Amino acid sequence: MLSGFLEVMRRDVRLAVRQGMDSLMAVVFFVIACVLFPLGVGPEPQTLARIASGILCVAALLAAMLSLERLFQADYEDGTLEQVALSPLPLEAVVVAKVAAHWLVTGLPLIAASPVLAILLQLDAKSYPALLAALALTTPTLSLIGAVGAALVLGARRGGVLLALLVLPLYIPELIFAVAAIDAAGFGYPVQPHLLLLAGLLVAAVVLVPWTAAAALRQALA
């Protein structure tokens, strides 16, 4: 079973690497979205520093969401999903494997790109560790919650826009606690409580999402 789990993960990572541009799109989107904000609100360093945490988190959230649309879609269309559903590996494990692969190829690059963007947005240097920690705890949760949405919209008309409508309201707690953590670091307040809340949400998502997403996939295949 473990070998099957790793195989699904490895296969998705390999596919993402072969189709390199596809997974880079999320990071490119992240960068462009962040760059648009100074152009919109003006280049004053104080203004930017004040809203940098919010911009970074909102942009990361949108980037994660956009890349999720294809999480199950390709497998659904080419018949891979029904073959995987008929394999001995439980569908719940398939969901976790695919989400893990997705996070490796999109979540990690987002985290890696965030310090550079933080410099461009004049984020307080004290906030950098909190930024990285918050994104490290947030992005897996975003991928997990998004997986439920991605499974629900399989076979729907206008899947992409629909996914945004379903998933973005559910992302609100992530956004609030991540920004709170980064801001707290900037003001010199304790960061830990916010990070613990984010970790709690991640644990809850790890427990509940595979089960829900698998149910959604089953009804999509039926």
Partner 1 sequence: MDDGNEMSEAGPVVRDRPGERWGGRWNVFNRYANPTRFMQLSAKLVPWFAGATVLLMAAGLYFALFASPPDYQQGESVRIMYVHVPAAWMAMFCYTSMAVASAIGLIWRHPVAEMTAKATAPIGACFTFLALVTGSLWGKPMWGTWWVWDARLTSVLVLFFLYLGYMALENAFDDPARGTRAAGILALVGFVNVPIIKFSVDWWNTLHQPASVVRMGGPTIDSSMLIPLLVMAGAFTCYYFWVVLVRVRGEIIASRIRGLRLRQVHG
Partner 2 sequence: MFSASALACVRGERAVFAGLSFTLAPGGALVLVGANGAGKSSLLRLMAGLLKPAAGHLAWDGADIADDYEAHRRRLRYVGHADALKPALSVLENLRSWSVLWGGRGGAAERAEAALEAFGIGRLRDVPARYLSAGQRRRLALSRLLVAPAPLWLLDEPRTALDVDAIARLDREVQRHRQAGGLVVMALHGGERPRRPRRSILRTRRRRPVI
41-47, Cβ contacts within 8 angstroms, sequence gap of 24 or more: 45/122
* CB 63, min distance to partner 1, A: 20
Q: Cα–Cα distance between 151 and 73 in angstroms, integer?
A: 8
Report if residue 177 touches partner 1, rule: CB under 8 A.
yes
For 52, half-sphere exposure in the C-beta direction (CA atoms, 13 angstrom radius) is 29
Tokens of 82: 């029904």
Tokens of 212: 């829900």
**Which DSSP state fits 121?**
T
Please say which residue, 83 or 219, places its beta carbon nearer to partner 1: 219
Site string for partner 2, 49-88 (x = CB under 8 A): ----------------------------xxxx-xxxxxxx
Place of tokens 């999903």: 81
* CB 210, min distance to partner 2, A: 15
Binding partner 1 (rule: CB under 8 A), the pick from 148, 150, 185, 191 is 148
Residues near 43 by beta carbon (within 8 Å), at least 6 away in sequence? none
Report if residue 191 touches partner 1, rule: CB under 8 A.
no
Torsion angles phi and psi, residue 5, rounded to 5: -60, -50
Binding partner 1 (rule: CB under 8 A), the pick from 13, 85, 170, 206 is 170
Report if residue 222 touches partner 2, rule: CB under 8 A.
yes
**Which DSSP state fits 103?**
I
Partner from partner 1, partner 2, none contacting 208, C-beta within 5 to 8 A by type:
partner 1
* CB 83, min distance to partner 2, A: 5
Question: Footprint of partner 2 on this chain (CB under 8 A)?
Answer: 3-4, 7-8, 11, 14-15, 18-19, 77-80, 82-90, 221-222
